Chain A
Amino acid sequence: MFTQWFKNRWMLLISVLLSLHAHAEITWNFPTPATPMAEDTLHVHNKFMLIVMVIFLVVLGIMIYSIYNHRKSKGFKAAKFDGPSNKSQLIWTLVPFAILLYIDFILMGIPAYHSVVAMEDTKTNADMVIKVTGSQWRWQYEYMDGDAQGLKFVSNLKTSEDEIYNKTDKNPQYLLDVDNHLVLPVDKKVRVLLTSTDVIHNWWVPAFGAARDAIPGFLRETWVKIDKPGVYRGQCKELCGKGHGFMPVVVEAVPEADYKVWVEAQKVKLAAAAEGANKEWSKDELVAKGKEVYAKNCQVCHQANGKGLPPAFPSLVDSAIVKGKIFDEQGKLLKDSHLDRVLNGKGVMPAWKSVLNDVEIAAVVTYERVDFGGMSDTLQPAQVKALR
């Protein structure tokens, strides 16, 4: 089996090496910038890289010259100096340092100063504000002002387990695709506030040149002003646990008119969802919906079969909590009940209160009770709504 594995890899390697030239998508530098900040970063990067490469080549050249000419095998006799021996030599040795000083603090230092100031200026002329919340292992987006105020949704990885475990072909946006992406208008300065609900994450889209940590309990900020419509992809880049490689950032930039249309559509959807919370759901409806919610949100830790990965992630199958009562006689939510755990979390178990809506929470709890707990009662969205 192993030899076969190696043989396959060999073939693959050879074909890859042959195709290295032909591949268009291989990039040797930063992706094409889409914001002023990325533009600036690329510019700074190219300039500095050029400078250090010149330094490197000059020094390498000197070394090669020396290695080639000053060898014993050529009969070269060693000189005896151990430092600059006269004034003019001393001055000559200082020249490289003067150049380096100039490069460090003038040539590189001054543009760097301006870049830093521009990068940190999130507020001047900002047109809108969004909030990005990192959670293990998904992003949540919320629009803080303007037409879209109050709009908020969760953005999950869309790549299937089968793709990850090589059971089917990988689609071209492998690991870089989400169910709901962030939509932003072009040519607007967007102030991005960041925070987290659990550990530190980092929201990063290479084409924006903006990367900023999302820190639990604190707000951090950055900004983007996208100049071309398009879909931009990035990833979390702060180690945040086992799903760190699986929480992409996808942003679609659209012209302002399209953005307005999108916002309206979202609002209609939101209203429909709120409507759903008022109606009475059947058990089958809830279980079907719950299964979806579970696969998207809970499966990473509790596994598809509900058995979890003890001791880190407990099994839900026949768990006392899953089977237990949710409300006491007075209809108050019991502490450490199934619903309490899902709404408020505990330790590594995330709080879902602000991530999932009433229907989703009611559905996933019902699904777990029925499929893993062997119960037959339902939890209605209205009951969840009443607790908010």
Chain B
Amino acid sequence: MSSQATVHHDHHDDHHPTGIMRWLTTTNHKDIGTMYLVFSLIMFLLGGIMILGVRAELFQPGLQLVKPEFFNQLIGVHALIMIFAALMPAATGFANWMLPLQIGAPDMALPRLNNWGFWLLPPAAILLTLPFTLALFGIGDGAIATGWTFYAPLSVQGGIGVDFAIFAVHLLGVSSVLGSINVIVTILNMRAPGMTLMKMPMFAWSWLVTAFLLIATIPVLAGAVTMLLTDRHFGTHFFDAAGGGDPILFQHLFWFFGHPEVYIVLLPVWGFMPQILQTFSRKPMYGYKAQVYSLWAIGILALVVWAHHFFTVGMPVPALLYFMYSTMSISLPLAVLFFCWIATIWKGSLTFETPMLFAIGWIVLFGIGGLTGLVLADVAADAQYHHTYFVVAHFHYTLFAGGIMGIMAGVYYWLPKMTGHMFSERLGKLHFWLTAISFNLTFIPQFFLGLAGMPRRIPDYALQFAEFNMISSCAAFVLGLSQLIFVYNIISCVRGGKKATNKVWEGAEGLEWTLSSPPPYHSFTEQPVVK
């Protein structure tokens, strides 16, 4: 089937529309992948600007720049954008670009679905942010102000921002499920002859687990926010005790999605990261099978630990113990992955180009995120950590370092392949060091703030927290500005630069490196055979 499709397309190569119509109607996996990645970058900058507003307000005690209502909107929309519109689309963008190349397919299996999956995102982003603009014209009272977690009854009480966010989440969810179906079908049906499952690139495995998690959990989120919508407008009482409901039910439903979600955004990174480490170590990937099994183990465990996000609501002791021990047990497969990553570079012949710098930095910083997560699993201590800046620091080590910095490693790794040009190594390295250092300066103080007792999601704080907040705010601005180097480097790489070879990196292995840089519009006109 796939070879037929290739033949068909070969004749039509010059006929595809140009200009805006090309992007609106494209079914080409690389075009769509590019759109996902560009969208992700734009949203990353937008979410970053929002949170810099927050950090400016938190620069010193007292309210200076924003009102508390607006502050709450900024943190919630920041998080929704970063997770749903920056991290997830970046991972899907890579899946689009690289999966067909890595498994020797001409395109994704369901190209029209693919187009649709992407074009649901911009409307969702608009829905999320539109209430900010509407409020300027006196309509409604701004965007969702409940944090990204939508907790009822606060969200039942909230303004139109909540409704907008609910619809945005629906669109984002549909987009993710469509993307996941496409990934599963592509991976299972379109691999090159000879590529058995156990010969698949790790990235394909990790996306398979991701897609499985998305399909398992997005419907639960969709159900939860729909129940919220009917509670808000149609008189149901799912989350209202006065009508026989339970506010904590919402938290269970939300985190049944929300916990797997953190793996959904991280798994794709765990997929390509070993490939990067292997490339710059010039040595085979360590423990391929162990990694595949660990990915699945984590995927499955991710579905059964959700209540560790709300230990303090009050639960029966057996439930507390169960969620504590099951959470701790995730550390085992995760440790297997860490072991394999480090064993991959051990006794390699290492060089430190920008992707490798990000990869090494990523192991260290994501390690901090993982270890603090282990500590958070302890129910008794969690009563102290929960909802303080300690948690904020922890999840930025996983989401910013583990997620975004991982994605950045991927961008630098594949950018020459995608554009056909080398980027500036000098700027790439500068970007890495500035990011790594200012990231730590932003978030290490937040660990101490949390321990000292500063709750999260507060627009103003007691005087004893002033010093650390000030350091954190300053570093956050450096962190934010450093990302402009990234943007500049990408743009100039797209525009031109030293020509990239097919292989790009000396130690690169895998099908994507056998194609030209950039690859032809239709990736594999002839299916490669894997021995």
Contact = CB atoms under 8 A, between A and B. Distances in A.
Interface residues of B, number: 101
Contacts of A304: none
A192 B471 CA distance: 37
Interface string B317-341: 1001100110011011001101100
A170 interface: yes
Interface stretch (A141-149, A203-211, A363-371): A203-211
Contacts of B324: 112, 116
A239 B378 contact: no
A210 B387 contact: no
B452 A31 contact: yes
Interface of B is mostly: helix
Interface string B376-402: 001111011011100000000000000
Interface band, chain A:
35 or more
Contacts of A100: 331-332, 335
A65 to B, nearest CB: 9
Contacts of B474: 13
B447 to A, nearest CB: 9
B136 interface: no
Contacts of B282: 72, 78
Contacts of B241: 215-218
B437 interface: no
A115 B247 contact: no
Interface of A is mostly: mixed
A241 to B, nearest CB: 6
B375 A48 contact: yes
A63 B466 contact: no
Interface stretch (A37-45, A181-189, A271-279, A354-362): A37-45
Given A31-B453, A105-B325, A245-B459, A120 B313 contact: no
Interface in A1-44: 9, 12-13, 16-17, 19-20, 23, 25-31, 37, 40-41, 44
A62 B69 CA distance: 48
B145 A242 contact: yes
Interface of B: 59-64, 67-69, 72, 140-141, 145-147, 151, 153-154, 157, 159, 240-242, 246-248, 281-290, 310, 312-314, 317, 320-321, 324-325, 328-329, 331-332, 335-336, 338-339, 342-343, 345-352, 360, 363-364, 367-368, 371-372, 374-375, 378-381, 383-384, 386-388, 448, 451-453, 455-464, 466-468, 470-471, 474
Given A82-B283, A212-B314, 7 more contacts: A26-B467, A44-B378, A70-B348, A78-B282, A81-B284, A104-B328, A234-B453
Interface of A: 9, 12-13, 16-17, 19-20, 23, 25-31, 37, 40-41, 44-45, 48-49, 52, 55-56, 59-60, 62-63, 66-67, 70-73, 76-83, 93, 96-97, 100-101, 104-105, 108-109, 112-113, 115-120, 163-166, 170, 172-176, 198-200, 202, 204, 206, 209-213, 215-218, 220-222, 233-246, 309, 311-312, 347-348
9 smallest A-B Cβ distances: which pairs?
A217-B241, A115-B380, A245-B458, A82-B284, A206-B453, A220-B314, A78-B349, A237-B455, A79-B347
